[in-house]
Amino acid sequence: MSASSLKCDGSAAGHGACMVNRRQFLLYSGAGAAAASTMTITLFPGTAEAATQKARVVGYPRKRIARLSELKDHHPLDFTYPDNFANAQCLLVKTGGVEAGGGIGPHGDVVAFSYLCTHQGGPLQGTYQATGDQRTLGPCPFHLSLYDLRRHGIIVSGQAYESLPQVLLELDGDDVYAVGMMGLIFGRDKNLMES
C-alpha cells in the first residue's frame, strides 16, 4: 500500500498520512507568512505614508459659579459645567471646614463634582451627606454607589468603578470659578462637546 493511497480513516496508518510533521509545518507557515506580508504591501499601496495634521488645542471655559462668602456649609449649589449640553449637571458644596482633595478657600473645603454616577449615570441630586467628618455623595438610586468627596470623589461602595468627575475650581477674590474637569463625564466620549 503506497502513502498516496492511504486515507484519513482513523487507523494508525491513516492518521500518520493526515498529519503534518514539524519540518513541513515550519516550511508551510514560513511560506504563508512571507506570502501574507508581500500581499499586504502590494494590496494596500501608500498606507505607510504619514499625513500632516494640525494640532487642535481646546481649553475648558472659565465659568463663575458662586461667591465664596455666600456659600453655606452643607448646602449644595447646582450648576452646569463645562457646557449646557447633556450630562453637565454639577454641584458645588462647602464641606463645613473638612478639608477635601482639590478644595479651595481658607479651609480647602469647597469642592465641585458631576451629579451623575459613573456606573450607569444615576442621578445623585439630593444625596449629599455630612456625617461626622465624612462627606459623601450617594448612594446612587440605581445600584447604591457611594462617593467620598474628601478624596476626589473616589468610590467607597457600590457598583461603580470610577471616581466622580471633579470640577477643578479657582478662587479669584471672593469669586469661585470652574476651570476644568478631572475625569470623564458619564455618557460622553469627551468632556467638551461642540455645538
- What is the rounded CA–CA span in Å between residue 189 and residue 181? 14
Instruction: Please tell me the predicted confidence (pLDDT) of residue 1.
Output: 47
Is 143 labeled as catalytic in the residue annotation? yes
Cell numbers at residue 40, please?
A: 499586504
Q: Give the DSSP letter of residue 160.
A: -
- What is the rounded CA–CA span in Å between residue 139 and residue 149? 13
- What is the rounded CA–CA span in Å between residue 110 and residue 176? 9
Instruction: Please tell me the predicted confidence (pLDDT) of residue 27.
Output: 78
Considering the chain, what percentage of its residues have pLDDT values greater than 90?
Answer: 65
* Section 127-137 average pLDDT: 96
Other C-beta atoms within 10 Å of 50: how many? Answer: 5
> pLDDT category, 153, cuts 50, 70, 90?
very high
User: In Å, how far from its chain's centre is CA 64?
Assistant: 26
Active-site position among 15, 75, 119, 152:
119
Tell whether the model's pLDDT for residue 11 goes beyond 80. no
Considering the chain, what percentage of its residues have pLDDT values greater than 70?
Answer: 79
Cell numbers at residue 125, please?
A: 441630586
Instruction: Please tell me the predicted confidence (pLDDT) of residue 21.
Output: 77
Beta-carbon contacts of 167 under 8 Å, excluding residues fewer than 6 positions away, are 81, 90, 92, 112, 113, 114, 178, 180, 181, 182
Mean pLDDT of the chain: 86
- If you write DSSP's letter for every residue of 57-124 in order, what string do you get? --PPP-EEEEEGGG--BT--EEEE-S-SSTT-EEEEEE-TT---TT-BTTTT-EEEEESB-TTT--B-
Residue with cell 488645542: 57
Active-site position among 15, 75, 107, 143:
143
* Section 161-185 average pLDDT: 96
Is 15 labeled as catalytic in the residue annotation? no
Tell whether the model's pLDDT for residue 13 goes beyond 70. no
- What is the rounded CA–CA span in Å between residue 171 and residue 156? 28
User: In Å, how far from its chain's centre is CA 50?
Assistant: 29
User: pLDDT of 88-122, one tens digit each?
Assistant: 999 999 999 999 999 999 999 999 999 999 999 99
- Model pTM? 0.71
Tell whether the model's pLDDT for residue 195 goes beyond 70. no
Instruction: Please tell me the predicted confidence (pLDDT) of residue 121.
Output: 94
Tell whether the model's pLDDT for residue 83 goes beyond 90. yes
User: pLDDT of 24-61, one tens digit each?
Assistant: 777 777 777 766 666 545 455 555 566 677 766 668 99
